Structure 1
Amino acid sequence: MKKYFLLGLMSSATILTNCSSDDDSINNPAEQKLLLSKITTVYYDNPSNPETSVATFEYNNQGELMKMLSEGRASVFEYNSGKPTKISYYTPSQTLEYYTVFNYSGDQLVNTKAIYTNPDFNRKSTYTYNSNGKLISSTLCQSEDCSNPSTSTYAYNGDNISTETSTIGGSIISAYKREFSHDDKLNPFTYMNKYLKIMMERAYSGNKNNYITERLSYKNNDGSWTQNQNITYTIQYNSAQLPVQVVGKETNGNNYVQYNYEYITQ
């Protein structure tokens, strides 16, 4: 669960979700929804000096996410008939840094492209789905010829991702795996636009429910896997059974991460 949401939306390298008909009913504007309005995250990478990050979200009257603010940076969203078409990313000085465009085939998001003034920085994420419309893989290309791409694949248990396997391309290729178990309550991103959740490409945003355990492993040169972390999450819920606080701890009891979620009703 760690930094993936903010990194996905703010950097747009790749922003995951179930694209089934359930999403369409969730996004029904006639329904009253609890929209995610603020995430406060405390990272314990350095336990003696935890790092706190705050992200806030602004919506229009249709419940569409229009702006995200985090650490002075702004992401501004544009839509066409409920489909995101463009996200513009601004620096703390309000200068446009780059923008991302969305490309569709019918109702399916096929890729997103991040466009910079310097084309050497441009990148493209491509998505593939199974017959049920669930995202099963994504590929990130950071060059025109897509040499050394990074890839992620997803395996499901019902409406939740059970395993996320990622390979990081580059001169030195590395791979890691995340395995999850889940509760039976709704995820904080439940009412977010399904295409934005695909772009986020991470197990938490794409699940129906919340994961309560996370096992992390890295791949060895011989192809075997070595587990290096095992995280357990304790969750507090509001009356709508949405998480308001999630605390992750490592096996030794040390803090790993903490999330506080706030919502608005629309």
Structure 2
Amino acid sequence: MKKHLFLGIMGSALFFNSCSSNDDNEGTNLPSEQPQLLLSKVTTVYYDNPSNPETTVSTLSYNNQKQLIKTISEGRTSTFEYDNTGKPAKTIYYNPDGTVDYYSAYTYNGDQLTSIKAIYADSDGNRTVTYTYNTNGQMTSSTLCQDPECSHPATDTYIYNGNNISSETSTWGGSMTYSNKRDFSYDDKFNPYTNINKYLKIMMGGAYSLSKNNYLVEKISYKDNGVWQQNQTITYTIQYNSSGFPVQVVGKEANGNPYVQYNYEYIIQ
């Protein structure tokens, strides 16, 4: 179930300025000189086992240019490096003991992120994610290949309604192919990832980080003999801070059982 709103804290930053809009800042790579509201901590409670919820805490750190440079989650650290245009160039992932697990290298075609390659000491572990886009520059699919032949790809595809993703379909290849689909409706507030570096949004993936607003309803379906069958509906209740960003998001199943809860904390820098 853990493909929730917060898809693993690989990195996120945002800012709020009363004179700014999402359209004004979309695609900006270099940090703004205006004061920014930066996401500093996310506490997530998963209710896969309602009698024993699982809590994870992720923290985020920034440099004096307001660029995300480090995240820590469940004892694992990730650090981020940028080129002189503000594009992410490298992410290094560390084991809990501080040794390097692997790193990811970013490849661009002009201003478009085309792929991210994870590189391990043992090259058998290497994997690559490639991206495609629509004519509006919105990322419409990502494909994960875990071997050079990409014999068993995992693909996420996205359908947009304006600045929000209305439908996300995930397909995993292998001896058997499995697919699920998530359809969303949204509020009209900015979500925590609104003004994050656009390439980190793409790297993080998922409808929440790529959309402008926050989920209100999520409908989950699986494919059975070629036909989509809806089997879950999640409704989200959101509390906002004075700047209009979420500070708590609570998701519940149709029967009222808890599904997930997120608490967001911010700093001004």
SS of the equivalent of 2:151 reads: coil
Post-superposition offset of 1:3: 4.5
Within the candidate set 246, 249, 261, 2:249 is matched to 246
Task: Note if 1:59 corresponds to 2:62.
Answer: yes
Post-superposition offset of 1:190: 1.4
Paired position in structure 2 for 1:15? none
Within the candidate set 7, 27, 32, 1:24 is matched to 27
Post-superposition offset of 1:9: 1.8
Within the candidate set 134, 139, 143, 2:143 is matched to 139
User: Does the CA-based 8 Å contact 2:190-2:244 persist in structure 1?
Assistant: yes
Distance 1:111 1:21, change over 3 A: farther
Task: Note if 1:43 corresponds to 2:50.
Answer: no
Within the candidate set 115, 118, 124, 2:119 is matched to 115
Higher RCO (CA < 8 A, seq sep 6+)? 1
Task: Note if 1:224 corresponds to 2:219.
Answer: no
Paired position in structure 1 for 2:18? none
Deviations 1:62-109 (A, max 9, x none): 111000001111001100020000000001100100000000011110
Task: Note if 1:235 corresponds to 2:238.
Answer: yes
CA-based RMSD of the aligned residues comes to: 1.8
Of 33-42 and 21-30, the range deviating more from structure 2: 21-30
Q: Distance in 1 between matches of 2:250 and 2:61?
A: 25
- Aligned residue pairs total 257
Distance 1:217 1:163, change over 3 A: same
User: Does the CA-based 8 Å contact 2:28-2:198 persist in structure 1?
Assistant: no
Task: Note if 1:169 corresponds to 2:170.
Answer: no
User: Does the CA-based 8 Å contact 1:166-1:175 persist in structure 2?
Assistant: yes
Q: Distance in 1 between matches of 2:7 and 2:181?
A: 20
Amino acid in the other structure paired with 1:65: L
Of 155-164 and 30-39, the range deviating more from structure 2: 30-39
Distance 1:188 1:87, change over 3 A: same
Unaligned runs of 5+ in 2: 12-21
Paired position in structure 1 for 2:187? 183
Post-superposition offset of 1:22: 4.1
Q: Distance in 2 between matches of 1:62 and 1:42?
A: 31
Identity of aligned residues (%): 60
Amino acid in the other structure paired with 1:56: T
SS of the equivalent of 2:200 reads: helix
Q: Distance in 1 between matches of 2:215 and 2:81?
A: 31
Deviations 1:157-198 (A, max 9, x none): 110000001111122210000000000000001132110110
User: Does the CA-based 8 Å contact 1:156-1:163 persist in structure 2?
Assistant: yes
Distance 1:8 1:147, change over 3 A: farther
User: Does the CA-based 8 Å contact 1:35-1:191 persist in structure 2?
Assistant: no
Deviations 1:108-147 (A, max 9, x none): 1000000011111110000010111001111110001111
TM-score (norm 2): 0.91
Match runs of 1:151-166 below 5 Å? 151-166=155-170
Q: Distance in 2 between matches of 1:104 and 1:36?
A: 26
User: Does the CA-based 8 Å contact 2:9-2:71 persist in structure 1?
Assistant: no
User: Does the CA-based 8 Å contact 1:8-1:201 persist in structure 2?
Assistant: no
Deviations 1:46-66 (A, max 9, x none): 000000000000001111100
Post-superposition offset of 1:24: 3.4
Paired position in structure 2 for 1:16? none
Amino acid in the other structure paired with 1:114: A
Task: Note if 1:259 corresponds to 2:262.
Answer: yes
Deviations 1:197-219 (A, max 9, x none): 10111000111100110000001
Q: Distance in 1 between matches of 2:156 and 2:172?
A: 9
